[in-house]
Chains A and B, each alone.
Chain A
């Protein structure tokens, strides 16, 4: 106990002495003005000190710009996401933005559709308008995909192929066709207008979570009229 007290006292005395000595040392240093008169700093030293401070400034500037740019980018992304989300609540905007992803390959166009969980796989679709002389001749259901065939007495066929968007894609030979887009009731129709005699007219669109391909050796206008009348049964 006595020894511990002595050690504590010694430590306190030492601390006090070191502090006093250091204060004396700092106070003994002349002022900057007096030292400026005494010393002349070499040009080499001035230059390298300025370079050191400048280098540090640029480093800070780069770091600060990077951080601020990162913040600005994050803010812009959040703002864009909110704005885009707001826009997508509008059905016309949705139609114009389109759920169809088109990949253009040499010789044909491929349509891939994103999955739509709201589509009910067992929904049946029918065509409201059918050109004169055409009757329904066949219906084929394979899995979630359906094919309805209409034909006339001349064996000219019009086919409607449809399925929920996540289950189907269409590849269309577009070498002999001209591509056009049209809108009706907020739906975007992709039309392949034939340029050659034996080439069918084709229309592709998506509606209520389903993808449709309507094709046949009829005029594009008649085919489009048929497409406009496709409804749920």
Chain B
């Protein structure tokens, strides 16, 4: 079988062997329900609280400010809807951006349908929000600002401290979706002034099916999942002990190896960009800025449909993503690409490569040569490629 190359680490990462080793005894021996009062339950509960403490420490929060969820999407939805509902007596206006994860945008849409008002901020060509627009958008009724820490398709990192300061000047709660940033960069919620933050295990080589919401003790929230007294009566549902143990272990490893991983990912990314730019002509690296996650690369290939390239690469053993247009077999366009100003036809030409700590320089070499082959094959029968190149050269007679 062909050796496969995984370049979709922003979708999910592989479960690390160290994490699996930490989880195995929990899955097999310490299987009690962490809410049970017998010894099986108490043993599980100890592990959960140790995990909570470890995750809290990683972001300079208190243990009782970490709430476990089933995913980043749940934590995002809960933060938006739960905070909005709990603080409704102060106002009904929420500010977010046009490039948030669907779990934020759809929660906002739900609130709009239920009497809230939402402002969706524009972003510039690199995915940064416009501060002047943010300040103008604030109203006396604004109760929550939710801006993602790092974008899942572009990797662009927002200025969280400045957004938090802007929010706090007007007594507004600041939530950030840090699913992509967490574990890749240090986040000190106290220093940055973050009131609520979403994180997830499977983006940092932990298990799928467990996320967390950091919620400052100063912030009021209402539950959206009922039926149990778990998570201080705020999130019902049996606690995923093995998942939490895995999450905590993944956090410990991410914090321990952060510097070396960052160095490796930056080197791999720079090598990939240089090699790709040299090998494949007529491409554009989107949001090619310094203040971003190095491992997320958004690349537009002139004259090529991104989903076709994804499928062709998959047939050749390389896994990538077309980002927001995650429902395949459609002709939809990533709203994030539209938000940064790409025309539909260019947005459709975009593919996201997201590197991981397990990728090697040899894999990048191999991947680039396969990308070149696939792009050439698609351009050979592209109906727009020649047309677009002529347009670019500005010579109608070519």
A and B held together in a complex? no
B-to-A contact residues, CB < 8 Å: none
A-to-B contact residues, CB < 8 Å: none
